[in-house]
A = this chain, B = another copy of it.
Amino acid sequence: MSLRHAVLGLLAEEPASGYDLGRKFERNLRRYAWHAQHSQIYPELSRLAADGLATVVEEGPRGRRTYAITAAGRVELRRWVLDPDDDPVVRNEHTLRLFLLSTLDTEDARQMLRRQAEGSRVEYESLRARIDEATRQAAPPVALFAAELGARYFLTLHEWANWALERLDPDAGPDRNASAG
């Protein structure tokens, strides 16, 4: 039941409406950890409220309801986060493609690795810039732990793709665009 804890976790950061949570999933969690559509979020918020783990703290225009986590909700969230689950759910279509690289012929593998190296470089630089900006604005260190992990993951992916490209072609480096050399 990770959806429940993902929602609870987002509410622990700050009170939010179902609509807000949808955007938070999209921006913060979707690419790394979890995703949920609004059709899952709204019913889950109702259940959390029914179970006393969250509560409506504000009603706004267009039927907007802002929820906040309750004390019981924090207890449950802490229990789950610290629970050493040795069988965590992992589903990653992107990693799956990388793992199936060995089923391609060399030229296809090269193409995919080049795309991968470039894509992860872009992601890395964008995340790193965001972290630098937040650091300059004196954001609290813990608030940036997740972003830092994301940045490091992309850097690792970038380095791995270049390493693999070199292994595929022992003679040509990954950055050889110049005709000389």
Contact = CB atoms under 8 A, between A and B. Distances in A.
A148 interface: yes
A104 B88 contact: no
Interface string A31-52: 1111100000000000000000
Interface string A16-37: 0000000000001111111100
A33 B96 contact: yes
A161 to B, nearest CB: 9
Contacts of A88: 92-94, 97
A125 to B, nearest CB: 17
Chain A facing B: main interface SS:
helix
A102 interface: yes
Range of interface residues on chain A? 35 or more
A6 B155 CA distance: 26
A82 interface: yes
A137 to B, nearest CB: 17
A13 B90 contact: no
A95 to B, nearest CB: 4
12 contacts: A5-B96, A9-B99, A29-B99, A30-B90, A32-B95, A33-B90, A77-B103, A81-B103, A88-B93, A89-B92, A101-B146, A152-B159
B33 A95 contact: yes
Interface stretch (A57-65, A106-114, A172-180): A106-114
A181 interface: no
B90 A2 contact: no
Contacts of A30: 90
